[in-house]
């Protein structure tokens, strides 16, 4: 009877369950896996918010950003409205297009330059702001890396298998590196 009690204490005693612990090694606990996945997603979202969050801006800046966002949708909706107008009121549309045909070509070029510069400058400004935000995030990260020490590289534990230990120490063949060395590039 004492032997059975000792075996059961070894398996289930001390607040642990050897069978459950072994099963968790072979198959992860779904509750723990869900908690880890949730923590990982929360950390990723927090990092994303820290990297790409916008600083607080004043009312005038927000109003100007709103006005700067209007031309593209207005161009797109205006073009779609012209197609609708051509189908609904062809006479009205023909009069408007005849009026546009009288606009001199240099004025069309000027309009194209203004629109191109507007959108190009806005694209460049937004790209510059994005790169500046990335740089603000990268400078502290780089300075943190400079203070880090290099970790020594360790070999895999081969246990008592001497053949595996010797095989782990032998470099693998690299045909590209050998061809490069054979061509004399390694001598320079």
Nearest Cα to 32, choosing from 174, 40, 182? 40
Q: Answer whether 18's CB lies under 8 Å from 11's CB.
A: yes
* Tens digits of residue pLDDT in 82-98: 999 999 999 999 999 99
Nearest Cα to 84, choosing from 100, 92, 99, 71? 92
Segments making up each domain of the chain, as ranges:
1-32
Query: Coil, strand or helix: which one is 22?
Result: helix
* Tens digits of residue pLDDT in 140-171: 766 666 666 666 666 667 777 777 777 777 77
Work out the percent of the chain whose per-residue pLDDT is above 90.
Answer: 18
């Amino acid at each position: 009877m004492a032997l059975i009690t000792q075996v059961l204490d070894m398996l289930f005693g001390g607040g642990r369950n050897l069978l459950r612990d072994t099963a968790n090694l072979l198959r992860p606990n779904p509750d723990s896996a869900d908690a880890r996945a949730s923590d990982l997603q929360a950390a990723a979202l927090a990092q994303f918010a820290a990297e790409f969050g916008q600083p607080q801006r004043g009312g005038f800046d927000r109003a100007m950003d709103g006005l700067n966002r209007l031309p593209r949708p207005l161009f797109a909706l205006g073009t779609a409205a012209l197609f609708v107008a051509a189908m609904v009121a062809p006479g009205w549309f023909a009069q408007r297009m005849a009026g546009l045909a009288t606009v001199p070509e240099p004025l069309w070029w000027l309009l194209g330059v203004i629109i191109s510069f507007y959108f190009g400058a806005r694209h460049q400004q937004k790209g510059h702001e994005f790169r500046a935000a990335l740089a603000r995030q990268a400078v502290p990260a780089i300075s943190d890396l400079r203070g880090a020490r290099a970790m020594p590289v360790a070999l895999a534990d081969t246990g008592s298998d001497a053949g595996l230990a010797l095989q782990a120490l032998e470099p693998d063949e690299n045909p590209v590196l050998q061809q490069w060395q054979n061509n004399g590039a390694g001598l320079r």
